[in-house]
Structures are given as C-alpha cells and as structure tokens.
Amino acid sequence: MAEIKLNKTELKVQKTTLDQLAKYLPTLQLKKQQLQVEVETAKNMEVGILGEMSKIKDYVSKWSVVLSQKLTINVYQMIQIERIETELENVAGVDVPIFKDLVFEPFKYSFFIKPIWVDIAYEELRKMVVEREKLKIIRNRIKLLSEELRQTSIKVNLFEKRMIPQCKENIRKIKIFLGDQEIAAICNAKIAKDKLKRKELLRQEAV
C-alpha cells in the first residue's frame, strides 16, 4: 500500500473514506445474510425435488418390465419437451431463474389399442421430466447465488479486516504526526520568543 501523506488534507480524505466504508458495510453484511438464507432455501428445494424424483422412480420401476417391451408406442415420444418456461428473479442484486412451466410436445395414441399401463406411464414419466428440469434450474440458481455470496463475503472481509482498520490506522498516524508538529511549532515559537526577550534585555543593558 502506498505511503499516506501526513497532512490535514490527507486526514480529511481518510476520514471521508472511513465514513463511506462504515456506511456501506452494513449493506454488504445484510446482503450476505440474505444470500445465505437464499442459498439455504434453494438447497432445501433441491433436496425436496430429489426426494420427489426418488418417489417417482420407485413407482415407475414397478413398470420397468412393460416399459422395456417392444411396443407400437414409443415411450420417449411421451416426454418430448416443446419448451421450458422460466422467469428471472432479482435476489440481492443477482438475477436467478425460477421454474414456471414445462410444455411437452403433443402426444397422441389410440384409446383402443393402448396397453393398460400407458396412462400411468404417461403421467409418471412426465412428472419425472418436470422434476428433472426443476432440478437443473434450482441447481443453476444455487450456483449463481453461491457465487454472489462468495464475492460478497470477500468484500465484507475486505472491509472488516483490511480497509476499515487501515483507514483507522492512517488517521491515527496522521493525528500523531500533526500533534507532534503542533507541539514542535509551540516549542519553536516559545524559543523564538525567549530569544527576542534576551535580545531586548541585552539591548536595554547596553543603553
């Protein structure tokens, strides 16, 4: 760090800087707390989605034999995605995605020739795909929020452990230097005054 100038102008600069840092720090701390809550909430949502997916997998596994049979119906056509609808939400200054809806490609099959399990497979497999896409989005949300939390934590630590203490130390040094200068000026003025007095006495004695 560059050496500070030990003068009144620099003292004013350091005091202004300290005031600004002290004023902005609570905002950063609040942002950090908010992000911590949001990350934890998103992780809980991730756990919930994984739990729901596990339930669906357990249920669908009961139909694994019939799903693996060669049939006129293509199971994968049931779950072709047309579009995923999301929105952006601003959380503590960072835009993060929210899952809104998932639209599948139209899938039609004959009511008369379909196997009995098709309706169940149709519903459950689509539920699985929806949860899978929700999981992708929530993990992206966690990634974005966690990165913002990391950056904010760095700033908070920088303010608390380096910048604010450094400003306080700079102010202390400048005040000590200016105080020493003031004392030296008073002493020099006193010495000069004493010299003048002695000169005046010598002059009077000479007369």
- Alpha-carbon distance of 91 to 150, in angstroms, equals 14
For 90, residues 6+ apart whose C-beta sits below 8 A from its C-beta are 96
Using one digit for the tens of pLDDT, what is the confidence trace for 12-26?
Answer: 999 999 999 999 999
Residue 190 has pLDDT above 60, yes or no: yes
Q: Assign 88 to helix, strand or coil.
A: strand
In a domain, 91, yes or no: yes
In a domain, 34, yes or no: yes
pTM (predicted TM-score): 0.78
In a domain, 144, yes or no: yes
In a domain, 25, yes or no: yes
Q: What is the CATH number of the domain that holds 74?
A: 1.10.287.3240
- Alpha-carbon distance of 39 to 45, in angstroms, equals 10
Using one digit for the tens of pLDDT, what is the confidence trace for 104-140?
Answer: 988 776 655 566 667 777 788 899 999 999 999 999 9
Range of the domain at 93: 8-170
H or E element that contains 101: strand 94-104
Domain count, the chain: 1
Pairing of strands 81-91, 94-104: antiparallel
